[in-house]
Structure 1
Amino acid sequence: MQDINEVKAQICDVCHKMWQLGWVAANDGNVSVKLEDGNILATPTGISKSFITPEKLILIDSEGNVLEAAEGYRPSSEIKMHLKCYEKRPDVFSVIHAHPPGATGFAVAHKAMDMYNMIEDVAVIGSVPLTPYGTPSTVEVPNAIEPYLEEHDVMLLENHGALAVGSDVITAFYRMESLELWAKITINAVILGGSHDISPENIQKLIDLRGYYRVTGRHPGYKVYNPEDEILHKKED
């Protein structure tokens, strides 16, 4: 049986780590977990992630209706984005949205992280798409991410930040953490002269290792460069 207190403690721990790592400032970011009964625990709006405690978390249903909340607390305005993830991905039980500086730099520069230059990230995340711009708190954001949810566990939100989903809150956090480190390494590589992809043959070997390492979630496959027509093609894994 699921220990709700343990889940709440994990959410709070993740929130505090996000703040300590500099992925969020002031009231930025939000975290949610889908429970076994289908209801959702979510962080409230208007509160720094450094101040999140178990009693401040809000319980909502799958439609976003508040079931339990301390007086004066309400769900994040971005909860629609979380609900879309749970609606489209039955395997997802946690959603994290943050503004990690490296990855968000790509989002602000309107650059998808469609590269295969890091061994770990090739196997775990794959390419990270840039989703179209959407006004926060509206249906524009969930509508913008919907086409990407089928294949991607991590995505960049244009001019906004990053989104990661997982089978639990720790998995979602790890994916966001991997994304940010990967973004920083890629930026450093570009500064040093260029980022170079792993060969397609070795990319496939890394993707095949997902089963061995019991990596859950979705993987988008990988790109193949065709020098004859100078087009980036997508190869499914």
Structure 2
Amino acid sequence: MSNEYLEMMCEVMKMLYLRGLISSTGGNVSIKLDDNTIAVTPRGFSEYPKFMLRPEQISIIDMNGNHIRGWPPTTEVKLHIAVYRVCKDCKAILHTHPLILPFLPPNVELPIDTELKYFLEPKICWVEELRPRTEDLAQATASKVKEGCNIIILQNHGLVTTGRTLMEAVERTEAVDLASKRFLVLKLLSKYLSA
């Protein structure tokens, strides 16, 4: 197993924290290593923030959720497994907590720029508010992915993005987070200019 993937996951967690997309203990990332093995960030520990993760702490599990090595997996492990089960092209999943996006009205039209629209092929879906860390949330998210969605907004909770690579999932996360900020700015500007 290549340590390169685990190192990349650690760097991504650091970047997500610096961008304000995860907290010290919240948010998670996974990579599907092969048909039966997933590398996933460990659950949050208050004494060890996620932006300081090291490769040996990344949790390795199988598709049934059995822990193979590393630290215990994220408490959202059901969500990651459920998505991988329905999406053969998904090789990476990010679950983040953007500031604005989860609190926008469902199905709002987000202004995604044309370059990202054509190269990232974003398909945005919404999942109603469900209790975190549950099978209900995992299955609701997986059903949207099965429909072809690669950006899933969890109402009043967070965001899930998938990718054929880890960086594709990262780019989708950044693109939709930026779109939510543009949406808010445009709304404020239109209100100000029409006053």
TMscore range, shorter length: 0.7 to 0.9
**Higher Rg of the two aligned structures:** 1
What is the CA RMSD across the aligned residues, in angstroms?
Answer: 1.8
Residue 62 of structure 2 corresponds to residue 61 of structure 1? yes
Structure 1 residue 118: deviation in Å? 2.8
Output the CA distance in 1 between the equivalents of 2:112 and 2:60: 40
Q: Residue type matched to 2:56 in 1?
A: E
Corresponding residue number in structure 2 for 1:163 = 160
Letter in 2 for 1:33: I
Count of aligned pairs between the two proteins: 186
Aligned-partner Cα distance in 1 for 2:159–2:107: 11
1:41-85 Cα deviation digits (max 9, x unpaired):
11110243211110110110011110112xxx3111101111111
Change (3 A) 1:12 1:61: same
Q: Deviations over 1:1-34 (max 9, x none)?
A: xx61110111011000001111111211000100
Pairwise CA distance, 1:116: 5.3
Other-structure match for 1:87: 85
What SS does the aligned partner of 2:94 have? strand
2:11 to 7, 10, 13: 13
Alpha-carbon shift at residue 121 of structure 1 (Å): 4.0
Provide the TM-score with structure 2 as the length reference.
0.88
- 1:132 match: 128
2:106 maps to amino acid: K
Question: Is 1:183 equivalent to 2:180 in the alignment?
Answer: yes
Higher relative contact order (CA 8 A, sep 6+): 2
Q: CA deviation at 1:134?
A: 1.6
1:37 shift after superposition = 4.9
Unpaired segments ≥5 residues, structure 1: 195-237
Q: Secondary structure at the match of 2:124?
A: coil
Query: Out of 127, 144, 161, which is 1:148 matched to?
Result: 144
Deviation at 1:147, TM superposition (A): 2.6
Task: For residue 138 of structure 1, report the CA deviation from its aligned partner.
Answer: 1.1
